[in-house]
A and B are shown apart, each in its own frame.
Chain A
């Protein structure tokens, strides 16, 4: 059950991204930015949380899930530390992912060389 939900929710989010690329002719960098920001805004207005409840990893693995973690962290920061918490919370909640992306990204880029295109 959980797997089917993850597949459908994750698939639909990616399908939305493909439509933005094909129909709206947006470059992929724009799509990534739109998705992260959309994740933040949808979380703020309470739309993304139910999606995470339904889809599990299907909603947290795609990039809007990164925005979801950022927004939730910012809210938590405000709850705990007031206004200044808005600055602490977001990155605090996503610190693992950001650090992993930097460290693993750096290591892999050092270890491997680009494949020559045939």
Chain B
């Protein structure tokens, strides 16, 4: 190797310096506030329908999730959710509205590839893994629960 030629580690260090550092405090504040607000809206919907439709607590929770998914999917459709997501980061990804966003956004994006391999297949690019790991782990803990219970 020639004397003045930068080594691989020099290069990696150079790249390291060029990658913008995330502003932890700003990102966390946004995530906390937006995530908190989405949950507060959820709590508001929950309280309203629990009182108005005379639902049990569990039914009201499930109905709230349904409505939040509808809101998340609609806001993604009209392009508002991605604007929120630019600032909010995890604050918009972690709530269930983000789950709806992860379904609608790629499905819209790949619409031109058709209604089967475009929309229907791409819907599960992110939601699929979530369902796979969620459902599988729930079956595992269910089976463990069964064997610990009969002991």
Interface residues of A (CB under 8 A from B): 2-3, 6-23, 28-29, 31-33, 35-37, 39-41, 43-44, 55-58, 60-63, 65-67, 69-71, 73-75, 77-78, 82-83, 85-87, 89-91, 96-98, 100-102, 104-115
Contacts and interface: CB of A to CB of B under 8 A. Distances in A.
A7 B77 contact: no
A7 B102 contact: no
Contacts of A62: 35, 39, 94-96
Interface string B23-66: 01001101111111111101111110000000000000111111
Given A8-B36, A11-B39, A100-B70, A105 B65 contact: no
Contact of A7 (B30, B37, B61): B37
Contacts of B76: 108, 112
**9 closest pairs, A vs B, by CB?**
A14-B35, A10-B39, A86-B142, A11-B36, A74-B142, A17-B90, A109-B107, A112-B77, A105-B103
A105 B107 contact: yes
Given A11-B91, A15-B31, A56-B43, 8 more contacts: A28-B90, A40-B141, A58-B40, A61-B42, A63-B94, A63-B95, A71-B137, A89-B138
Interface residues of B, number: 78
Contacts of B138: 40, 67, 70-71, 73-74, 86, 89-90
Interface of B, secondary structure class, is helix
Nearest to B115: A110
A101 B99 contact: yes
A12 to B, nearest CB: 7
A109 B137 CA distance: 29
Interface of A, secondary structure class, is helix
Contacts of B63: 96
A112 B98 CA distance: 17
B47 A2 contact: yes
A45 B61 CA distance: 22
Q: Which of A15, A23, A41, A98 has the most CB of B within 10 A?
A: A15
B43 A58 contact: yes
A96 to B, nearest CB: 5
